[in-house]
Chain A
Amino acid sequence: MSLVLENITKKVGRETHLYNINLEFETGSRNVLLGHTLAGKTSLLRLMAGLDRPTSGRVLVSGEDVTGKSVRKRSVAMVYQQFINYPSLTVYKNIASPLKIARVKKGEIDRRVRRTAEMLHIEEMLDRLPAELSGGQQQRVAIARALIGDAELLLLDEPLVNLDYKLREELRVELHDIFEERKAIVVYTTTEPTEALMLGGNIAVIDEGRVLQTGLTPEVYHNPATTKVAEVCSDPPINFLKGTIKGGAVRMGWNIEMPLEHHMKSLMDGDYMFGVRSNHLSLSRNDKEDVEIPAKVELAEINGSETFIHADYDGLRLVVQENGVRLVRIGAEITIYVSPSSFFVYDEAGALVASPSREAVEGKLT
């Protein structure tokens, strides 16, 4: 089976939610739609499911035009961001409902419900009502219902966003393994680049109703084609510095200078935009090549086992991601160190002209 979206446009009233989308999905593939909130991810998912009709364009399943086909007649399963279950049915009946409608035999239903419940660790809760479960368990029930029917198209709309941090990590790993075994087309939307990377597969970066870039998830992550893609693919936000290349040297901001080396060697003289992810900025020197950026601390937020330090450099806000919990005084003068090999370089139009080599950044990732 394959799913093809052909020139899909969706207008609601006068607003256009999706502009001329062309995407292709192959059976057995895992696909991530990455984009900020209101980018159009949910609209796109609803079109794929058949819950909404595109204003123009076609949806093809295995070559057959299904644009106007009712969702009831399609082989689709969907998990919503909110925990949606049938409140009046027990967990068991909730999970069994797609099979019951499809007139599967009782014994077979029972076997599959128990197997799916076990896979999602809710086998103890089968007799309860959804309202008697915690949020994470409710979402597990919704996921179990989506998985049980062997639907050819499995859509998940930010399924983990309403869960707390720990549960999210746990479920993310489990989902990854579950998807591995599926023959279906899995489409997963998220706002978090880390989640996208974790799930792997293919990615489509969406912003304001447009598909900006598609490809293998790690490829896109390491080579964001435009500044906008780099923004969507980075959390905390990527840091941009304006600069020029002239006579074999790079000048950024008002006092940063570094030699034109590594991946930037072949660049022509001119004005550029330099992007660097916050995990490549550091408060300590890691290499003698590192460039120094003097800045003033504005805010330090502790996020799990990481600390994000927001610092002001000449009116620009830079975010430094440091491992471990760091106590940084607000207003303190600090020096940020960054390796010249970790800069993405964009031309004035915002298109990628040079990206750091994988070794340079991955060494830092681990």
Chain B
Amino acid sequence: MKGKKKTIGLVIYFILLMMPIYWMLSMSLRSNADILASFALYPKGLTFMNYMRIFTDSTWYMGYVNSMIYVAMNTVISLSVALPAAYAFSRYSFVGDKQMFFWLLTNRMAPAAVFALPFFQLYSTIGLLDTHIAVALAHCLFNVPLSVWILEGFMSGVPREIDETAFIDGYSFPRFFVTIFLPLIRSGVGVTAFFCFMFSWVELLLARTLTVTDAKPISAIMTRTISATGLDFGLLAAAGILTIVPGALVIWFVRNHMAKGFAMGRV
């Protein structure tokens, strides 16, 4: 009896949870005229027109390409900067290490909007505006501290004696780091990459401020659905669905590592 109640509760919970996503999916499969004309729980005149438009119009699909480029750049930069930093925080003690470690986290306390204007001014001066690297670097402000924080937790879980044994065996530092150490913190790297990806992928304000046309992200392009003739709901919904897909894919791949990351209490 109790099990049944639990199941019913879970089903209701999932229905509530999936409702907006289902609604978006349903809208994306209808024409705008249909959406505006009648209320329907499921799409009656099924159409893939909205998706076709996104995949054929280069101003649309380039939005996805741009987003993916700077997200990938950001993930690579964040990881390659955070890995050595996290190693230092986990293995060495130096003056002010604890303060600095905490200071890293405080970088995340300010909202992105605060940094939008300084970044815009700075990048336009040095000619970085409307490039992928500009957005990738701006996002590092948030992603590097988080990466250091997560990776440090994973690295501290590896006994220091393993490092020493490797040095006694004669490993050079880079060789030890790549062949011995990285495989041990695989999960951590996966979790960190996921968080960098996620933040960079959904972040709108900085990405929109720092780009004009060449590196315009998908989230900014979506605003084009608003025009003088009204809002194209169908197209917006289709773009939304396509925006969810990469995130969902990444989650699927790192789901096992995620559980480990949460268990370590650092995520």
Contacts and interface: CB of A to CB of B under 8 A. Distances in A.
Nearest to B183: A88
Interface stretch (A16-24, A76-84, A289-297): A76-84
- Counting chain A residues whose Cβ lies within 8 A of the other chain, the interface size class is 20 to 34
A72 interface: yes
Given A82-B159, A84-B159, A88-B183, A72 B165 contact: no
Interface string B46-72: 000000000000000000000000000
B94 to A, nearest CB: 14
Contact of B170 (A82, A88, A102): A102
B180 A86 contact: yes
A4 B162 CA distance: 27
Nearest to B166: A86
Interface string A74-105: 00111010101111110000000110011000
Contact of B168 (A78, A88, A102): A78
Greatest chain B CB density within 10 A among A51, A72, A78, A98 is at A72
A86 B168 contact: no
B160 to A, nearest CB: 10
Given A84-B161, A84-B162, A71 B168 contact: yes
A51 B164 contact: yes
B167 interface: yes
Greatest chain A CB density within 10 A among B162, B165, B172, B184 is at B165
B164 A101 contact: no
Contacts of B161: 80, 82, 84
Nearest to A77: B168
Interface in B170-217: 170-172, 175, 180, 183-184
Contacts, number: 50
Contacts of B180: 86, 88-89
A85 B184 CA distance: 12
- Counting chain B residues whose Cβ lies within 8 A of the other chain, the interface size class is 10 to 19
A30 interface: no
Main secondary structure of the interface of A (DSSP, over half): loop
A49 interface: yes
Contacts of A85: 165
A98 B175 CA distance: 13
Greatest chain B CB density within 10 A among A80, A84, A145, A149 is at A84
Given A86-B180, A88-B180, A88-B183, A101 B169 contact: yes
A53 to B, nearest CB: 14
Nearest to A86: B180
A72 B159 contact: no
B169 A98 contact: yes
Contacts of B168: 49, 51, 71-72, 76-78
Contacts of B159: 82, 84
A98 B169 CA distance: 5
Interface in B129-187: 159, 161-162, 164-172, 175, 180, 183-184
Nearest to A97: B169
A129 B109 CA distance: 43
Greatest chain B CB density within 10 A among A49, A86, A87, A145 is at A86
A87 B180 CA distance: 8
A78 B163 CA distance: 12
Contacts of A145: 165, 169
Given A51-B164, A84-B162, A145-B165, 13 more contacts: A51-B167, A76-B168, A77-B168, A84-B161, A84-B165, A89-B180, A97-B166, A97-B169, A97-B171, A101-B169, A102-B170, A145-B169, A149-B169
Interface of A: 49, 51, 70-72, 76-78, 80, 82, 84-89, 97-98, 101-102, 145, 149
Interface of B: 159, 161-162, 164-172, 175, 180, 183-184
16 contacts: A49-B168, A51-B164, A51-B167, A71-B164, A71-B168, A72-B168, A78-B164, A78-B165, A78-B168, A84-B162, A85-B165, A86-B162, A88-B183, A88-B184, A98-B169, A98-B170
